Each structure stands twice: as C-alpha cells, then as structure tokens.
C-alpha cells in the first residue's frame, strides 16, 4: 500500500492496481465547509488530469482531477448524503472514488508524503 499526492491536492492510496482517491487535508481546509460532492459513475474511464468529480463548499466549487488514468471501480455513495465526511475525514471516510489504474508508470509523476509536505510549505 502506497500513498501518492498530486499538485492539485488529490491523494491516491494504491493497493495492487486499484487506487482510492480523495482530497488532502490542505485542500479541504482551503475549501471550508463542504456541502456537496458529485462523484463519477462506476465504469467511467478517465485519463490522468481529467476532471472526475466536483466538490462544493460554502466558499467555492472546485474540480477534482484524476491523478492517474483508469476506470472507476467504486464511488463513495455516503458523500451524497453526508458531504461533510470530506471535512471530518479527508484522508479516510471522505474518499471520493476508486480507480483501476491502467498505467502504473503515471504514479512516478506524483509526490510522496514528504514531497507533498514540502510542496504545500512552498505555497504558504
């Protein structure tokens, strides 16, 4: 199991060839109280960097991008009724979708935890 981070503030937790994707604590703090999440459909296919989901907060709406290419294998249906899970558990129960990774080499373009920590430190 490995966790990677994108410059768009998504995380992907990879087990085998499936990655669970959500937004980072940094992103949810920047957005504020999240009130609505739109997730993709199971079976949809996306390329790395494609807009996959939308999150709306009291401050703004923001797109969620796929950190890798692949096919959506599951979505977090709990977010439909409880979008606040993203605020209370962004790197746990607030995950957005699972994606069957079609090109594992794309993971090499993402950051590890230390790299992401340095990246966000440079934003402040």
Report the CATH number that the domain containing residue 77 is assigned in CATH.
2.40.50.100
Judge whether residue 1 has pLDDT over 90.
Answer: no
Provide the domain count of the chain.
1
Task: Judge whether 22 and 95 are in contact, CB under 8 Å.
Answer: yes
12-36 residue pLDDT tens: 999 999 999 999 999 999 999 999 9
Residues spanned by the domain of 69: 2-121
pTM: 0.95
- Answer left, alpha or beta for residue 117, where phi above 0 means left and psi between -120 and 50 means alpha: alpha
């Amino acid at each position: 199991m490995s966790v990677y981070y994108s410059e768009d503030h998504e995380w992907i937790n990879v087990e085998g060839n499936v990655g669970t994707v959500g937004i980072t604590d940094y992103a949810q703090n920047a957005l504020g109280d999240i009130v609505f999440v739109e997730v993709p459909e199971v079976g949809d296919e996306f390329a790395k960097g494609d807009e996959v989901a939308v999150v709306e907060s009291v401050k703004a709406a923001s797109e969620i991008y796929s950190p890798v290419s692949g096919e959506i294998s599951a979505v977090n249906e709990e977010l439909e009724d409880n979008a606040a899970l993203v605020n209370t558990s962004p790197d746990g129960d607030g995950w957005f979708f699972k994606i069957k990774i079609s090109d594992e080499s794309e993971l090499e373009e993402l950051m590890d935890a230390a790299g992401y920590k340095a990246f966000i430190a440079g934003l402040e």
